[in-house]
Structure 1
Amino acid sequence: MDRLTNTIRPYAWGSTTDIPTLLGVEPTGEPQAEMWMGAHPGAPSRIDRGYGETALSDVIAANPDGELGAATVAKFGPRLPFLLKLLAAGAPLSLQVHPDRAQAEAGFADEERRGIPIDAGHRNYKDPNHKPEMLCALTPFEGLCGFRPPEQAADLIEGLGIGSLKPYADVLRAHPEDAALREVLTAVLTADREQMAHTVTETAAAAERLGGPYAPYAALVHDHPGDPGVIAAMLLNHFRLQPGEAVFLGAGVPHAYIRGLGVELLANSDNVLRAGLTPKHVDVPELLKIVKLEPGDPHVLRPEGDGEEVYESPIDEFRLSRFVLAPGAASRLLPADTPQILLCTSGHPRLGELTLAPGESVWVRAGEKVELSGTGTVFRATVVA
């Protein structure tokens, strides 16, 4: 078992206070958006086994069977297939979708064949992997996920009383669900930018005046003035999570995190197709190949189980669970057949001889037995091998 040293990513949308508050340190005044735990090449965690700090990715590469276990290597290859994060949104992230594995493989191969540099701003596929993800709230958490039924989206848009938006509402009422969503999403994202910016400004004024279900969209305009993604976001369901609740986001599901602190677990990929709320590249034709143009209500997950509380998901690259350790509870031996990362989010639990504080995490290689005791909350990230 190895204590992890992790990198905090200072993306502009990050909260300046949420991660420092969890860690019990003074804020720097700069955004601290994500703390990465894992072996992602962009910012691998580091461990020290007595020879100085070494990237976890290098440790795994040197002995994949010893670190991951033979079953995990046989199923996923000689790499850790997930990335665990603390995610602290102080402003909305981009409206986005992720491809499934077949789409990622085809898109990556195509862009490689065309010689698009991997770091090019207009590159869509950075790797041939899919990127399902799960977000579990540590504080009240707000976001957007999945398309509303077109009739509901039409009611919301029409309720603003803005003439330039009425044609979108009419289309949403007049066509089958997938055709209506495709036509309106395409129209919004390809509209004249100057005219759309004016419409977004009108939307902001109306949303602030009306409040209620419109309040989230007024907030989006504050952070992304003139962005057509504000109108596209009105096609999506707005959700709120309470601490301990989670959402799973599969391939093709449009989503955006708005505000809050959470534990995020995802497959190890960087593939993102954006639909707005960002100054970055938006490839509308490619987006329309990937996005699932069907209504889908956000399914809020609550952990199930006694002792180890599991957040169920339909994929094998990751499995998220948590232990809420009450004072006086008996210690327990954790399963040891797969590699795992353990993250403390409250209290001071003990993992064998190690005591963790909030925000601290450890790497446990496959086959290593760990006894969990003390008090607090510990999240466990592993695979289904």
Structure 2
Amino acid sequence: MYSIRPVPKHYAWGSHSCLQRVFHLDETEQPLAEMWFSGHEQSPSTVIVDGEPRLLTQMIAEQPLTMVGSRSSSEFGPVLPYLFKLISATEPLSLQVHPVAFQARAGFNEENREGIPLDAPERSFKDINEKSEMVVALEPFLAAVGFSTRAFALKNLELLHLPVAQRMVEALNSAALRSEDESFADADALMPIAATVWSPSRKRLFRAFHAAITAEPMNAEELLADLRRAREQVEHARNDLAFDFAIRAASAFPGDVSSLALLMMNPVSLQEGESVFLPTGTPHAYIYGTAAEIMTNSDNVLRAGLTVKHKDITNVLQCLDCRTSTPVDPSNAQIATMLMRNLAFYKPDVSEYMLAYGQVDVQHEPWPVINSLARHYDSLIRQISGRTPFPHAGPRVVVCTQGSVKVRSEQDTVVLRQGQAVFVPASDGWAYVEAVSDGEGDPQGKYLVASTPF
């Protein structure tokens, strides 16, 4: 095992205290938004080898079978196939989507042909990889994820007096075929080629979303006043939450009309241990909270609004998944095999990554998070006691988020305190996490394990 150091990311929406507390960093005026455990070429983590720092990317390139194993190397090449982060947001961050593989390759190559440097602020595609991601809440976490139903969107938007909101209502009620409705020609011209086989409902959602993200900035006080007035008429908690998100976004980004798009989307409120998976093309915006985030090894972000960074409206619309959907909980499919006495697994339907979130306790007290998830999933839960190994020979990152934990593998044993982490290479074989019971650390500890699926 190798000690691994995360890469800090300072963005305006980050926290002034949360990640600093976890990683025992001095609080400064500069917010800390993300800590990357990364094998990405543009921001690689360092690992400590014989007392010396080495880039994780270099180690994997030199020893792919040792570091990531034969299965991962065969499928993804000599790279870490996932990017693992801890994130903390005190303000809403950008309304965005992520591309599928062919869109990422095309966009990356096009920006290369245009001579846009990889670190340029106007660059959208940083690599050729598609990007899906998953979030597991470490504290209460709020997000808008994917399009809700047309009825939900109309119920929210019809309460507003703003011209853009009424334009969105018109779009959601519009004719389906381009040739039959010239009033949305500007939106229809930006639909991807695949739209020729889209259902009418998908075209309507596209038109309404287009209206929100292409609208000119407006008077900030007028926007907020109409949102607050409309919220007072809301009767259901889910609609109220959607308005709460829109108001937070409009307050953080004064006059940005793209905040109205949140009224079309699923409002998600996660408690500790709850999760959501975001397939490629899913529109989303994180609103508030602290979470673990894992994704394919990609930094491709296409922003539509709610940001001071570069917006790429054309590519957002080309990559946008306009189907209505229910937020995907990656625990749902096999929850009976994913919850153990003090450990929860999160395995979305991807080949690159999964997460585990656990607690160790010398006194063997039950973890309240597991009890909460057990109540949530009712009869599907099976409680399994005993050690929980990660038996597959793949690359793993273990980070202690609270207290102390002991990480054992076939080759090594390491005690981690809060904020410390190790990279467990494939060559270490099985590994498991247990309580520190010899007085070296706290009797309780929480930890996360990022890995390829087993």
How far did residue 167 of structure 1 move?
Answer: 2.8
- 1:289: which partner in 2? 318
User: Pick from 254, 261, 282: which aligns with 1:253?
Assistant: 282
CA distance in 2 between partners of 1:197 and 1:289 (Å): 26
Cα distance, 1:197–1:42 mapped onto 2, change above 3 Å: same
1:45-64 alignment, distance < 5 Å: 45-64=45-64
Under a length normalisation based on structure 1, what TM-score does the superposition of the two structures give? 0.92
Question: Are 2:451 and 1:382 aligned?
Answer: yes
Task: Give structure 1 regions of 4+ aligned residues with deviation exceeding 6 angstroms.
Answer: none
User: Pick from 279, 288, 305: which aligns with 2:339?
Assistant: 305
Instruction: Describe the SS at the equivalent of 1:186.
Output: helix
Whether the aligned pair in 2 keeps the contact of 1:205 and 1:218 (CA below 8 Å) is no
CA distance in 2 between partners of 1:27 and 1:166 (Å): 45
CA distance in 1 between partners of 2:388 and 2:452 (Å): 20
Cα distance, 1:123–1:45 mapped onto 2, change above 3 Å: closer
- 2:21: which partner in 1? 21
- 1:316: which partner in 2? 351
One-letter amino acid of the structure 1 residue matched with residue 397 of structure 2: I
CA distance in 1 between partners of 2:23 and 2:452 (Å): 26
One-letter amino acid of the structure 1 residue matched with residue 293 of structure 2: E
How far did residue 235 of structure 1 move?
Answer: 1.9
CA distance in 1 between partners of 2:29 and 2:119 (Å): 29
- 1:96: which partner in 2? 96
- 1:217: which partner in 2? 246
1:69-218 alignment, distance < 5 Å: 69-175=69-175, 176-191=200-215, 193=216, 196-198=217-219, 201-209=221-229, 210=231, 212-213=240-241, 214-218=243-247
Share of identical aligned residues, percent?
Answer: 33
- 2:178: which partner in 1? none
One-letter amino acid of the structure 1 residue matched with residue 224 of structure 2: A
One-letter amino acid of the structure 2 residue matched with residue 108 of structure 1: F
One-letter amino acid of the structure 2 residue matched with residue 206 of structure 1: D
Whether the aligned pair in 2 keeps the contact of 1:151 and 1:172 (CA below 8 Å) is no
- 2:369: which partner in 1? none
CA distance in 1 between partners of 2:431 and 2:392 (Å): 8
Instruction: Describe the SS at the equivalent of 1:154.
Output: helix
One-letter amino acid of the structure 2 residue matched with residue 170 of structure 1: E
How far did residue 327 of structure 1 move?
Answer: 2.8
- 2:417: which partner in 1? 357
CA distance in 1 between partners of 2:432 and 2:140 (Å): 31
CA distance in 2 between partners of 1:296 and 1:43 (Å): 33
One-letter amino acid of the structure 2 residue matched with residue 360 of structure 1: Q
CA distance in 2 between partners of 1:230 and 1:334 (Å): 42
Task: Describe the superposition over 1:33-77 as per-residue Cα deviations: whole angstroms up to 9, x where unpaired.
Answer: 001112223332222222521111121122111111122111110
Instruction: Describe the SS at the equivalent of 2:308.
Output: coil
How far did residue 22 of structure 1 move?
Answer: 2.5
How far did residue 108 of structure 1 move?
Answer: 2.0
CA distance in 2 between partners of 1:259 and 1:377 (Å): 22
CA distance in 2 between partners of 1:135 and 1:36 (Å): 14
Cα distance, 1:70–1:326 mapped onto 2, change above 3 Å: same
CA distance in 1 between partners of 2:52 and 2:21 (Å): 29
How far did residue 227 of structure 1 move?
Answer: 1.3
- 1:344: which partner in 2? 400
